Each structure stands twice: as structure tokens, then as C-alpha cells.
Chains A and B, each alone.
Chain A
Amino acid sequence: MEELHIQLQSILFNNDKADIEKAVSAMSNAASVYRQKGHALDCVLVYGDASEAPLYTAEEILLLKQKYDGLTDIRYIVFGENTGTSKGHNRMAKDAQADYLLLMNPDIILCPNFFEEILSPFSDPAVGAAEGRQIPLEHPKDYDKATFETSWTSGACTFIRSDVFRAVGGYDAATFFMYCDDVDLAWRVRLAGYKLIYCPRAMILHSKMTGADGMSAPSSFEIYWSALANLLMSVKWSFPLRTAELIDRYSHSTEKENRDATAAFLQMKEEGRLPSPLDPEHRIAVMYDDYYAPQRFNL
């Protein structure tokens, strides 16, 4: 039986160690469950620590390794800077000797049958990446109920062929610090001719609280980086009218973060740091109002 090599990777940033340990335990368990079903699996976890001070000592990582032996290895890289998601993931993926990469948030808890479910679409060589179903807030973007094809895969938990990741150049770290980097990666994977598949039974717990009225309130940080990412996406994926509309909207916004993001964007433009437009015919990139995919409902 041929052994499958998977690299799981997350960026740490001042996380609660108890949450991380639960996540590690669930990853180790999911790998063991997959092996118990008769599969040969090499499953390596790589953490890139972007915190101001390293969260773990070498001894603590060793203890984690010993305790959670469903994982073949746990590698711990101290970045020494806040890389953001794109740069951090690219750095960890660079030397990966794996067939697949699982790019995920550090607090994601995998369900026991995760690997069986997430791997099942990859019997089709046209599938480039897949994503799990997030709980407790299922992502509202639509997917095909029969084929499970979807417009983009969420960076909270994207499972991707390593060669595809490298072939498309990984995350666009030069453009995106965080947010929309996942949509951009997903669209480039599709532009390269691959399909993206939503796996509803590959459940992942992605902690996200919601307010009493059912709406999640974005933080100041999220508003700024989302606004900037939206502006950059509109340039990179050839939506000049949307760029103009967003500049108008954000610069008149009552939220300072939106105005600041617009100013930062205009500064980048002036300095010639905006990305070159892709997919001018919009074969892949399609906007649905403000969304990058049709929505089943609004969160």
C-alpha cells in the first residue's frame, strides 16, 4: 500500500495553548482513525509561530509529539515576525515533502473521519483543492448539491494538492496580508483548470462567536484588512468598476477603518504596488453583489 503524505500547517499568533492542544489532539486522532481504516498515512504538523514571543519551548513541542503520536512529527518554526497568513503559509509549504497540504487556522478541531471525507474527491485528478464544513457557523457560500463544486475554498481549512499549490505560486503574499488571500488562491487554482470541492461531512470546528441577534460583529482589525483586501481583489481580478465603487463607498464610510484602508490602497496605487489584473474575461472571477460566490443566506 502506498503511503500518503500530508502536511498540516497553521500559523500561531498569541493563541491559547489549551485550544492548541485540543486542536493537536483532534488532528492526531483523525490521522489514527484514518490509519485504523487500513490506510498508510504520514501526517506531519507544522506550526509557524508569528507571535511576538514564541509560544512554545522545544521541550513542550517534544512533549506534544510524544503525547499525540497519531502525528508522524510536529515541526515548530519561530517566524520572529507577524507574517500574516499568506506569507506564513508559503514559508511553511516551501519545503514540504507532502502530497497534500492542509492549510488551516490554528484553533480548528478536525472531526475523527476528516481525512477519509476530505480525500474522497481527490480520486478525480481534476480536483485541485477541497474544504471541510465549518461548524458552528456553516459558511453561507453556495455549492452544487450534486457535484459539491464550489467557487472558492475557505482559508480556515483548505486541503490542497501540494503540486497545485506550488504550481499556482501559493498564496499571493505580495498583495494580501490576510483576508481574500484564500479566494485569490482558490480562483488561481480554478484558473489553472482545477475544480474545488466542498466536503460537507468533513466537519471542522471553527470557533466563531455570534452576537445575540445572530450577526457576528467584526473587529476593527477585521474591518480594515477586509476592506483593503476587497479593494485589492477588485484590481487583481479585473473589476475596475467595483474598485471605483469600493473607493467611493469606503471613503465615505462612517467607519474609520474603511477610510484608512482606502487611503492605504491609494498609497499602494501611487507607489505602483497594485497587482496585475487576471482573468479579464471573467471565466473564473464572478462577483455576486459584494460576494465572491452566490450566498445561500446571509450570516
Chain B
Amino acid sequence: MTELTEIIARVQSLLPGITKIRELSGQEEAQADKETLFILRDGFFAPESFSAEKLKKLHASGASLLTVTTPPLDSLQIYRLLSGRETEALDIRGLTGAGVCRLLKEAGYTLARDLSVKKDYRGTGDGSPFTAKGSLVNSYLRWLAGYTGSGIDNETDIYLFKPGAVPESVTASPFLSVIIRTTGNRNNALQEALLSLAGQKDMDFEVVLVGHRVSEENKPALIRLVDSQPGFLKNRIRLLFLEEGGRAAPLNFGFSQARGIYAAVLDDDDFVFENWVSAFKNTAEAHPGAIVHSKVLMQDWERYTDESGKEVLRAVGSFDPYYGDDYDWLLQMFTNTCPFNGLAFPLFPFKEYGIRFNEEYSTTEDWDFLQRMSAVCGVADTRQTTCVYRIWVNAENSHVLHDREEWNRNRTEIIRSMYDRPILLPAEKTEGVIDLVAAYPESFRYGSVGNFTERQITSKLYFSTEKCGFTEETAVALPNLNLLPDFYYRFEHLEDKGRVTNLRWDPMDYRSGYCTAIELSVEYADGTVEEVNVRGCDTNGFWLEDDLVFCAPDPQVIYHLPTEGRVISSVTIAGRLSLTYTPKMKDLFLDKYAESLTQPTKKKGLLNKLFH
């Protein structure tokens, strides 16, 4: 196997201390030391000969290991199984790459390098979308396999392991690991955070307090603070120091140390209500595996120094339910609406798939992490208010510390990274997507329509009678007889339409825009002429002063005639037409759109960002 020879050569360059390389089967005992690299193949892991004790002995000797195994199933077989069309008898024996990694991790080994040989996924010609390479479901499955690092596309699983620390055996996992990051200079606020945890109705949590780059001068006070907590809280706190990295580093560190099933993050100046843990737990039990989202109140606070030189924290504003909505899957793609303290994450993807906080971000690392996690886990709402997001009106806040330009830069990157991910849309959000598309005006979507004076604008008149509603068969279309932006239409010889009960004018065939100074005149067969008050007509547009504004395609104006109907001989319509909107119209549109949706404040914010 030429590839293996090349890989061994690579291993030697990676581990220059290795002087002896040999294969080890399940049966034989080996003389091992830290200069030896053992190659373990499938036979080593065969159930009849595998011994966990032997792995532990190897670990104790300091030997490195290279595992070379063949996956028992490949991706094609897995996708076939999912499609329900697997016809071949499957002979599944041996360990997956993940299984090998788990065994070695339990023995104390650390994965140093994944050197697996990949194979191209070719798909099949059996027509099943689960296996066919060009289908949406297959592309999603393959993305998912990459997200989890499943290795199901490996021709051969090859992993290099170095001996590491033997993992601590944890007998009981709390539900929640509370990760608190502190730089050790806000102990007054940190005490408040800890006190709010002491008051939890459900105490099924641990606290991983990460002292991040705490100065030597501040360390003793931080240690004393933890030591001074009442026993029932102190027993739950582990204070760990981390000396390197940026804002996101203590999160990765804290999550890696967490022993819970879920993890939530508090900053050292956060505080929470008594239902914070219980709401997360109850929702996680109802929706296992999902990220859990709670409502968060916003409140203005100030901090100042009193005459004794000590810090005072003081609430100065009412609670604002700014983050009081359920998780909005769509809005969240555009901007972050979830304060970090209102979220709890399942730890499995972090620990097993290596989904980490991106330490290159100095801000918005929480949003980025949430987006990558939620792509697979989804989000479940507690529908409870569980904590407060403090706005420091006269002191540092992360949104003050980091300038707007940096926020925008990170935001752009996060949004771009979403372009590389397929979207798994929760079923209940489909309606929201359709609403969004329906309410999104053509002119906004494509920008200015361009040199529309050269375009032919066609108007159409529809008629309904007692016998028949509006129909294309009896409709009359006319080109504009004037030069845009003015329009003039004269529909004549309409007596054959019979006794008309409703008249519908479609100013444009598919675009949207607005009309000004509309004059609508109807001449009846009996010779009378009626100047119709267009404001009294039904329309799917809306009036803004003298302009009739249409936001959606297929604009319509409907004039209701007497119920017995009248015979019409001609209809004349004139006015001015514009296909682009004034800023005031956009604002009004946003208001109207926002009113129609369940979360007006946020939707308006979103739309403002979209259009301005």
C-alpha cells in the first residue's frame, strides 16, 4: 500500500522521536516505549481479540499509535439504507473511524492527526435522490457527514494518536454547565451573577468559571470570591485560569471543560432570574438535542465609584422586552437577536463534532456559533423570560468596546459563511418565508426598474357581471397612449360586456409602482358619464397622500357598480405612473409590512436594514 508508506513517512516527520515502527495484532504482547509507533489494523479491534487493557498498557508505555482500519459501511450504503431501497444483504463488521477514536480516547490517547484516505462520492444511477449526487437531499446528507466529521467517505480510516492524560471519570453529569468568563476586574458584578445562580429553583448545574488573562494582582481576589461562596454554590464552581487567546478562547476552553449535557454562557456582569436553569432544562427535556432559547429583558445600568473608591452598580431603566420574542429563525440569519445568556447549547456537537467558537472573531462570536450549531440542532423556545441583558450606559459594553465597523465586518463574514451551508428549514417557518417573498416589492427586489420610458406599459380592464366573475376571456388590454410617466387609456365599445357589476383596472401587468392624479371616467350606454372617485374604490395598494402605492405584483383597483349592474360603453383612465418609490413610501411600506407580522419591532429593524 503505497499510500500507507507515504503516510508513515509523514508520521515520522510529525513525530521525529519515533525510531521503531511495527504492526501489532490483537494476540501478541508488545515491548513498548515512547520511541515506538505501533500500527493497529482491523484485526486488533476484532471483538474476539480486542483488549482495552492492552490499549491502556500501550498508553502507559508512552507509545504512539497509528490506526489503519476499513470503514464497515461507506456513505453510499448509508444513503441507500436511508432511501429504503437497499437490496443487498449488508455484512457489517468492524469499527467506524469514530468508534476507533472513542476506544483510544477512553484509553487516554489524544488524536494528533487525521490522515484518512478519502474517496470521491460518485453516487449511483438508481434514481434515488438519497444516493444521486445532484439531488438536494444527497447534497445535504454529504454536507452533514462533513459537519460531523463522520468519516463515512473515507476509503481507509487512518488516525495518528499520541498518549495524553487519562480522562477523568465523571460519575454524574449535571444538566447544565454554566460557563462564566471573567477578566477578574469586575468582581462586584461577578458576585451578583453568582448570587443569581444561588437562587436557581433547579440547582442541576455546575459553574465553569474561566479566569481569562487575569492579572497576577487580581487573581487572589478572584480566588477569595469563589472561596467565600456558600457551600451549596461553591461545590458547584470550578475556577480555571486561561492565559491566552481572545474573547472567544475562554468559551472554547470552558466548553471543553464542561461536564454537563448542555452549556450556557454568562458574562461576569450578567444576572439571571430564578427560572433560568429550570426553563432550559424543561425545554431541553421536551426537545432533546435542540438549542434552547429564552426571552431576555434589556435594562439600562450605570456603574460609578463612590467616595470610598468602591464601585456601585445601579439600575437606571425599566425592563425593556426588546428580546422578548420567540426565536426567529429567518431574522436570525440577518442579524443577531439572541443575547448569549438566553441560550443553552447541547454539548454533544462541541465535544464530538468539534464545532468550536471561532477565535478569530473579536465580536459576534456568539452569533457565528449559534448559526453553525442551529443549522443541525435547531432551536426550541422556553417561552419564558429568564434573564436580563444589561446595557451599561456609562461604562464598557461589548458593543461600545468594539466599533461599529468591526461589527459590520464580522457580520458580513458570518452571513457569507451561511452561503456555504444548506438550510434545514423548520416546517413552521415555511409560511414566514412565503410571507416575506409575497410582501417584498418587485422594485425593492430588483432595485430601480431602469429606463422604463422605453418599456411598453399595458393596462388591463376586467369585468364581472351577475353571471360571471372577472375573467381573462372578457378582459381588454391596451397599451399606454401617452408617454410615460403620463398614462392615458381609453377602453371603448364595451357594451357587449353586458350589465357590469364590478370593474377592475390592473394598471400594470406584473410590476409594482405608484400612480398619481388618477382620473377614472365611465361612460354608460344610456349616455351618462360618471367621474369615479378612485379613493372610494377597493385596491390592493395603499394611499399615501395623493399617491396610490402598490407594493406587490399584480396591482388592482376595483370599482363596484350597483348590484343590478350597468351597461358601459367606454372607460377612460389617466394619470401619472412611477415604478420607483420615494423614501417616504418605503417607510410607510415598512410600517404596513411590520404591522402585518407577528414581531413588528424586529421586522421593522430588519426591513430598515434591507432597504436603507
Tell me if A26 counts as interface (CB < 8 A to partner B). Answer: yes
Stretch of A47-55, A174-182, A198-206, A250-258 on the interface side: A198-206
Contacts of A28 on B, CB cut-off 8 Å? 230
Contacts of A140 on B, CB cut-off 8 Å? 315, 318
Nearest first, the 5 A-B pairs at minimum CB distance are: A214-B319, A29-B230, A112-B228, A138-B315, A205-B199
Q: How far is the CB of A88 from chain B (nearest CB, A)?
A: 23
Q: Is the CB of B230 within 8 A of A113?
A: no
Contacts of B192 on A, CB cut-off 8 Å? 135, 203
Q: Is the CB of B230 within 8 A of A296?
A: no
Q: How far is the CB of A66 from chain B (nearest CB, A)?
A: 14
Could you tell me the distance between the alpha carbons of A214 and B199 in the complex, rounded to whole angstroms?
19
Q: Is the CB of A112 within 8 A of B230?
A: yes
| Supplied contacts A135-B196, A145-B306, A207-B274, 15 more A-B pairs, CB within 8 Å | A25-B230, A25-B231, A30-B230, A109-B198, A112-B225, A112-B229, A135-B271, A138-B314, A200-B312, A203-B195, A210-B385, A212-B324, A214-B385, A297-B315, A299-B318
Q: Is the CB of B198 within 8 A of A22?
A: yes
Task: Report A211-231 CB contacts with B as 1/0, cut-off 8 Å.
Answer: 111110000000000000000
Question: Within B366-403, which residues are at the interface with A (CB < 8 Å)?
Answer: 383-385, 388
Contacts of B385 on A, CB cut-off 8 Å? 210-212, 214
Q: Is the CB of A210 within 8 A of B273?
A: yes
The 7 sampled A-B contact pairs (Cβ below 8 Å) are A109-B198, A111-B195, A112-B229, A113-B228, A135-B192, A213-B321, A214-B321
Q: Is the CB of A210 within 8 A of B297?
A: yes
Interface secondary structure of A, over-half rule: loop
Q: Is the CB of B199 within 8 A of A207?
A: yes
Contacts of B307 on A, CB cut-off 8 Å? 146
Could you tell me the distance between the alpha carbons of A96 and B317 in the complex, rounded to whole angstroms?
40
Tell me if B609 counts as interface (CB < 8 A to partner A). Answer: no
Q: How large is the interface on B (under 10, 10 to 19, 20 to 34, 35 or more residues)?
A: 35 or more
Most buried by B among A113, A135, A213, A299: A135
Interface secondary structure of B, over-half rule: mixed
Could you tell me the distance between the alpha carbons of A133 and B304 in the complex, rounded to whole angstroms?
15
Q: How far is the CB of B347 from chain A (nearest CB, A)?
A: 26
Given A112-B228, A145-B304, A200:B199 Cβ within 8 A: no
Question: Within B286-332, which residues are at the interface with A (CB < 8 Å)?
Answer: 295, 297, 300, 304, 306-307, 310-321, 324
Tell me if A167 counts as interface (CB < 8 A to partner B). Answer: no
Contacts of A213 on B, CB cut-off 8 Å? 319, 321, 324
Q: Is the CB of B195 within 8 A of A33?
A: no
Given A29-B230, A135-B195, A297:B317 Cβ within 8 A: yes
Tell me if B104 counts as interface (CB < 8 A to partner A). Answer: no
Most buried by A among B271, B274, B311, B319: B319
Tell me if A280 counts as interface (CB < 8 A to partner B). Answer: no
Task: Report A21-46 CB contacts with B as 1/0, cut-off 8 Å.
Answer: 01001101110010000000000000
Tell me if A192 counts as interface (CB < 8 A to partner B). Answer: no
Contacts of A109 on B, CB cut-off 8 Å? 195, 198-199, 230
Q: Is the CB of A214 within 8 A of B313?
A: no
Q: Which residues of A contact B (CB under 8 A)?
A: 22, 25-26, 28-30, 33, 109, 111-113, 133, 135-136, 138, 140, 145-146, 148, 200-201, 203-205, 207, 209-215, 296-299
Tell me if B419 counts as interface (CB < 8 A to partner A). Answer: no
Most buried by B among A29, A200, A214, A299: A214
Tell me if B191 counts as interface (CB < 8 A to partner A). Answer: yes
Contacts of B316 on A, CB cut-off 8 Å? 296-297
Tell me if B188 counts as interface (CB < 8 A to partner A). Answer: yes
Contacts of B297 on A, CB cut-off 8 Å? 210, 214
Tell me if B183 counts as interface (CB < 8 A to partner A). Answer: no
Could you tell me the distance between the alpha carbons of A109 and B188 in the complex, rounded to whole angstroms?
16
Nearest residue, chain A, Cβ from B310: A201
Given A109-B195, A135-B195, A200-B313, A209:B275 Cβ within 8 A: yes
Tell me if B222 counts as interface (CB < 8 A to partner A). Answer: no
Contacts of B446 on A, CB cut-off 8 Å? none
Q: Is the CB of B320 within 8 A of A136?
A: no
Question: Within B57-81, which residues are at the interface with A (CB < 8 Å)?
Answer: none
Nearest residue, chain A, Cβ from B307: A146
Q: Is the CB of A136 within 8 A of B198?
A: no
Task: Report B341-385 CB contacts with A as 1/0, cut-off 8 Å.
Answer: 000000000000000000000000000000000000000000111
Q: How far is the CB of B197 from chain A (nearest CB, A)?
A: 9
Given A26-B198, A111-B191, A136-B273, A201:B312 Cβ within 8 A: yes
